[in-house]
């Protein structure tokens, strides 16, 4: 897909991978609708517009989609389902509230956004949905059971969805990064990039790569790892 002039919705745009992806798509000429609970600081661009949206609320998602079409036009070419949260801990010491919060954002919110965008993409017979999962969707890890469960769900959903919407000209990519240096789980990135972790810009570059693949090519799953982890 040639991204120039194409409209892309990115969830969880305020920081980390979402912000880096917005900047990467703007650099390729796309028009970006950034969805999030808070606006990204310092991102000011004539082709960027922020829409406040808590994706855990289906009505809020529907409203954000209507507002996006009203402001940026009917055609929606890209949806990057990036918003996600992680709470870690042993299963028998885990709060049910944290469990539900992860599923509400990582799984249900992703479903609401996909459901909102798909009819327009099918109508156009063109569109690309990127679901940002995790390597936690490929192997279980102690004290990450809830997070792994959500990312396994995203991977299964993505695998089924790509088969479902292929005939409509819509592509679906499940991106599974390993350790990325972001504010994830409350951690603050260091002043110097951690050589043992990938940077948000690295993930954004992979998203651009998947989007710009020839129309005859579908990168259905991409796994990413640091070259030399600790």
Beta bridge partners of 204: none
Q: Which of 147, 152, 157, 162 is catalytic?
A: 147
- Give the number of other Cβ atoms within 10 Å of residue 10's Cβ: 31
Contact 130, 78 (CB under 8 A): yes
Is the Cα torsion angle 91, 224, 43, 2 positive or negative in sign? negative
Q: Please calculate the CA angle 121-175-149 and round it to the nearest 5 degrees.
A: 105
Burial class (CB within 10 angstroms; exposed 0-12, middle 13-18, buried 19+) of 41: exposed
Structure tokens at 12: 């969880």
What strands, in cross-sheet order, belong to the sheet with 127-132? Answer: 48-52, 31-36, 7-11, 78-81, 127-132, 170-177, 221-224
Q: How far is CA 212 from the centre of its chain?
A: 16
Angle 175-56-26 from CA coordinates, rounded to 5°? 50
Known active-site residue 112:
no
The structure tokens listed for 132 are: 């940002």
Coil, helix or strand at residue 172: strand
Instruction: Tell me the catalytic residues.
Output: 147
């Amino acid at each position: 897909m040639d991204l120039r002039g194409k409209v892309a919705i990115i969830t969880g745009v305020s920081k980390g991978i979402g912000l880096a992806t917005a900047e990467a798509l703007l650099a390729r000429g796309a028009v970006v609708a950034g969805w999030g609970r808070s606006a990204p600081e310092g991102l000011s661009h004539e082709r960027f517009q922020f829409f406040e949206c808590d994706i855990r609320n289906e009505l809020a998602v529907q409203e954000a989609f209507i507002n996006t079409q009203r402001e940026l036009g009917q055609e929606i070419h890209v949806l990057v389902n990036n918003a996600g949260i992680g709470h870690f801990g042993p299963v028998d010491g885990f709060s049910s509230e944290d469990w539900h919060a992860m599923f509400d954002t990582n799984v249900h919110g992703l479903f609401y956004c996909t459901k909102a965008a798909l009819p327009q993409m099918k109508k156009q017979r063109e569109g690309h949905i990127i679901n940002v999962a995790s390597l936690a969707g490929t192997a279980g890890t102690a004290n990450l059971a809830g997070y792994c469960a959500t990312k396994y769900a995203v991977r299964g959903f993505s695998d089924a969805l790509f088969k479902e919407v292929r005939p409509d000209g819509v592509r679906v990519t499940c991106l599974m990064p390993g350790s990325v240096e972001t504010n994830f789980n409350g951690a603050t990135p260091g002043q110097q990039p951690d050589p043992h972790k990938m940077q948000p810009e690295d993930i954004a570059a992979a998203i651009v790569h998947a989007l710009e693949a020839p129309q005859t090519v579908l990168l259905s799953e991409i796994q990413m790892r640091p070259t030399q982890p600790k």
